[in-house]
Homo-oligomer: A and B are copies of this chain.
């Protein structure tokens, strides 16, 4: 029963944390950047470009796919992965909103205006 204390938070907070977790590993960041830059998107090619075993890369792909951040379409023998740009745009907005709220105030400036 440890760990899943997650349920006690806002849906927004959970959602943001969930997406953040998806980006919380350099391999997944690299995968998204790869998919963004190349059109290739063949699973095998992705694995070849990363310093990880094919199995591990596949696992990361599954995680991204589980959140629907990427999609995979079977094309005969190979699988073609691609970004779900629509969802990514939504996610970007969420992050933007979050950071905007966080950076709005001048909380504890250089002269620590913090009046605690």
Q: Are A13 and B33 in contact (CB under 8 A)?
A: yes
Interface residues of A in 1-18 (CB under 8 A from B): 5-6, 8-10, 13-14, 16-17
Q: Are A88 and B103 in contact (CB under 8 A)?
A: yes
- A29 contact set on B, CB distance < 8 A: 9, 13, 16-17, 20, 98
Q: Are A42 and B108 in contact (CB under 8 A)?
A: no
- A89 contact set on B, CB distance < 8 A: 99, 103
Assign chain A's interface to a size class: 35 or more
In Å, the complex CA distance between A5 and B14 comes to: 27
A residues touching B (Cβ–Cβ < 8 Å)? 5-6, 8-10, 13-14, 16-17, 20-30, 32-33, 35-37, 39-42, 51-52, 71, 73, 75, 78, 80, 82-85, 88-89, 91-92, 95-96, 98-108, 112, 114-116
Known A-B contacts: A20-B23, A78-B116, A91-B99. Give 6 more (CB < 8 A): A9-B27, A13-B26, A17-B29, A37-B101, A39-B114, A83-B108
